[in-house]
Amino acid sequence: MMFPFIKEAMTNLFSRPSTENFPAQPVAAKPNYRGRISYDPEKCVNCGMCVKVCSPAAITREYKDVEGGQEITYHFDLTSCTFCGTCQDFCEEKAIVLTDDYLMFAEDPKDLIVSGTRFKEKVKGKLSCGEGCVYCGLCARNCPQNAITVDRATKTWTVDHEKCVQCGKCIEKCPKKVLSFAEPAPEGVILGPDCIYCGLCARKCPVGAITVDRPSKSWTIDREKCVQCGLCVKNCPKKTLSMGPIE
Amino acid sequence: MIKKAIANSMQRSPWLYHVNTGSCNGCDIELVACLTPRYDVERFGFKLAGSPRHADIVVVSGPVTSQSKERLLRTLEQVPKPYCIVTLGSCPQSGNVFKGSYSVEAPIEKFCHVDVAIAGCTVKPEAVVAGLYRATEILKAKREAMNK
Amino acid sequence: MEYLKIIFNILVFPGCLFVGAVGLLLAGLDRKVLARMQKRVGPPVIQPLYDFLKLLGKETIVPKAANRKVFLAAPVVGFSALVVTALFLPVLGYRAFEGSADLIVLLYLLTIPAVALIVGGSSSGNPYAGIGISREMVTVMSYELPLICIMLAVARKVGGSSLCFSLSEIAAYQQANGSLLGSVALMPAAVAMLLVIPAEVGTQPFDVAEAETEILEGPLIEYSGAPLAVFKLNTAMKMYIMTTLFSALFLGGLATGVTALDALIQVLLCIALTLICITTVHAVTARLKVEHLFKFYWTVVAGLSALSLVLVWLGF
């Protein structure tokens, strides 16, 4: 019978143990550790790339219509996440960061879901007056910006769209309920004059809506696919793309 | 007074029994890494027991495959009360990347109540130590509830 | 008055309480020192007490295939045999029961806990337990022969041609002539005894019977709750009993006369012996397979003790 480790056993007996003193002393994770996800809804542009690339389908997005707009919530389910960091790699706005917090345990799995909500304001269209206006002038008197002009005698009603801040007071006060905001003009990506057909916008587009052909100098966008994230606008080297109303 | 001593000992001497229900072994490796000198979970009294009848905390890893689900349930029936179930990683909770497969029956909440869920893929040993420590507190509470 | 003294002996000193407490202390020190040898912090020294109390708080499950009466009675039989053994062993100067053939009674009593483990394991009706008890039987057969030879050698040395099996006379001989460890003829017997102790206690490298990871705890696989607690206590008490036996046979003659001081010195001796022959051997070796264990005990250890026997019979 051989006793090969007896020297080690004796030296170890009289030396300090090599156990790290956790949980009495906190231990930091190594750099670049991929731990708990942190999501900043303010930076998010709702492109949806993270939902597309997540391999265990741990990221979900839900829309909720509220007064004045829409609430967009992203849920990152840590009990489904495989911590690969692909969402972090693909997020252009760096809204998703895998921190070095490794202490993720809970008695209720619902505590292990990281969520963030962004409120997207609904863009209102222009103020317009419909049939049945009696030119009472109540709207003009209640407008805090004095944007409405009503002339009873000539039966005219005009609004200065530059001054109007779309507060909606006039709509509340109108006795005949003929005032309303029109449907907003749809917004989309508009191509400017300086395009050099480099194709960067097509490459950065998360949904593949843009097609650029350098030889024939053509730039097309599929409006159905576009999610208005604005990544193409940000990355255009000639700053010739912009987000604006389209017909 | 003896009952109080017994409840206290429940917290200080939890024996672990590990069940692998189809795991990739990543979480299993991190669990046995906890028994190595660096993380040394034995200083809290933890010990790997060989038989489910000796277990206090059942540690489950792996998405519960269809073949192992019946065996897991049979094993859990053999564990004497009071006991806790701790899941390692995201596989038992949701199936992770194996979600929707024809042979994976995660989440494990469908057939047994999980006391502590430790998230990670794979879990860090310190997180396992912290999670197991929380499980011992739950064990003590269960024992005290049994006393009443 | 006599009955009160006997009850005190059985229940407190050197009976249940004393042996149980010192046994748990030895088991705890064994785990702690083992951990330190492996460069870990290790459990607190009273960890076996926490284990015992925790097991009392778990529910006892008796499997349907098991023989209920034998299943529950086996650990109690082992425990009572160990308590009686402890009553026969002297705590240096103090003796609870004495007789003229102590060693022979001890030899029989020491087999009872092993048999209780075997019977308990076989009554549980589990095939893993079956493998465990067959290995335990081989282990018992292996260490019994050296133990008998050692006891015969000591008896012959102390008593001359009429063998002396009484522990009090062995102690008196050692007080008069110096400890038996010093005599050349009994040196191989002492080494053989140091090798028998880990096998009796069931610690590595001789713990094939209760191989944790291999056959899922062997005979104890179906035990849970209070019976398991008693079995673990038996293992702890055996540590104390075997080391006390060693100190009674080979290190006698250290009695001071004051019972409390004797008890303290005895506990310290047991601790030292545990650290030498149980913990160190555990830390530096791996588990032996059952055929290697058999071969080891029947060649090396039996050879050493037989050598001692021959030397003593030739008059050295």
A12 to chain C: which residues are within 8 Å by CB?
A: 36-39
Domains of chain B, by residue range, sit at: 2-147
Is A56 an 8 Å CB contact of chain B? yes
Tokens standing for C43? Answer: 């459990």
Query: What local confidence, expressed as pLDDT, does residue A157 receive?
Result: 85
Render pLDDT for B9-61 as a digit per residue (tens, 0 to 9).
Answer: 889 999 999 999 999 999 999 999 988 888 888 889 998 888 899 999 999 99
Is B67 an 8 Å CB contact of chain C? no
| Least confident stretch, A139-143, B37-41, C76-80, C104-108 | A139-143
Query: What local confidence, expressed as pLDDT, does residue C16 receive?
Result: 85
Tokens standing for A216? Answer: 């024939």
Greater confidence (C68 vs C213) lies with C68
* pLDDT confidence bin for B104, thresholds 50/70/90: very high
Query: What local confidence, expressed as pLDDT, does residue C267 receive?
Result: 86
Query: Which residue of B99, B117, B121 is in closest CB contact with A57?
Result: B99
- Residues A113 and B63: their CA atoms lie apart, in Å, by 19
* Percent with pLDDT over 90 in chain A: 9
For residue C33, give the 3-state DSSP assignment.
Answer: helix
Query: Which residue of C38, C285, C296 is in closest CB contact with A12?
Result: C38
- Residues C280 and C30: their CA atoms lie apart, in Å, by 9
- Taking the complete model, does pTM exceed 0.80, yes or no? yes
**pLDDT(C47) > 90:** yes
Is A3 an 8 Å CB contact of chain B? no
Greater confidence (C90 vs B90) lies with B90
Which residue has tokens 């309303």?
A: A180
A77 to chain B: which residues are within 8 Å by CB?
A: 94
Domains of chain C, by residue range, sit at: 2-313
Greater confidence (C9 vs C156) lies with C156
- Residues C201 and C212: their CA atoms lie apart, in Å, by 15
* pLDDT confidence bin for C29, thresholds 50/70/90: very high
* Percent with pLDDT over 70 in chain A: 98
- Beta-carbon contacts below 8 Å between A and C: 34
| Least confident stretch, A222-236, C19-33, C86-100, C241-255 | C86-100
Angle ∠(C226,C88,C260) on CA atoms, nearest 5: 90
Is the domain spanning B2-147 CATH 3.40.50.12280? The answer is yes
Taking residues A86-109, what's their average pLDDT?
89
| All domains of chain A in start order, with CATH | 31-121 (3.30.70.3270), 127-181 (3.30.70.20), 187-245 (3.30.70.20)
What is the residue-averaged pLDDT of chain A? 85
**pLDDT(C212) > 60:** no
- Do C39 and B10 lie within an 8 Å CB cutoff? no
Q: At what angle do helices C102-123 and C226-250 cross, to 10 degrees?
A: 160
Is B37 an 8 Å CB contact of chain C? yes
Distances (CA, A) of A246 to A192, A238, A243: 13, 21, 9
* Percent with pLDDT over 90 in chain B: 53
State the CB neighbour count (10 A cutoff) for residue A161.
Answer: 10
Query: What local confidence, expressed as pLDDT, does residue C216 receive?
Result: 65
User: Which value does ipTM take for this structure?
Assistant: 0.91
Angle ∠(A213,A217,A222) on CA atoms, nearest 5: 55
- Do A78 and B114 lie within an 8 Å CB cutoff? no
Taking residues A98-119, what's their average pLDDT?
89
- Do A6 and C284 lie within an 8 Å CB cutoff? yes
What is the residue-averaged pLDDT of chain C? 86
- Do C50 and B7 lie within an 8 Å CB cutoff? no
Q: Nearest-CA distance from B105 to chain A in Å?
A: 14
* pLDDT confidence bin for C211, thresholds 50/70/90: low
> Which letter does DSSP use for residue C94 in this model?
B
| Least confident stretch, A75-84, C35-44, C90-99, C156-165 | C90-99
C53 to chain B: which residues are within 8 Å by CB?
A: 5-6, 8-9, 13
**pLDDT(C214) > 70:** no
* Percent with pLDDT over 70 in chain C: 96
Burial C25-41 (b: 16+ CB within 10 A, else e): bbbbbbbbbbbbbbbbb
Query: What local confidence, expressed as pLDDT, does residue A2 receive?
Result: 65
A224 CB contacts (<8 Å, ≥6 apart)? A209
Query: Which residue of A18, A77, A105 is in closest CB contact with B37?
Result: A18
Render pLDDT for A145-173 as a digit per residue (tens, 0 to 9).
Answer: 888 888 888 888 888 887 887 777 888 88
Query: What local confidence, expressed as pLDDT, does residue A142 receive?
Result: 83
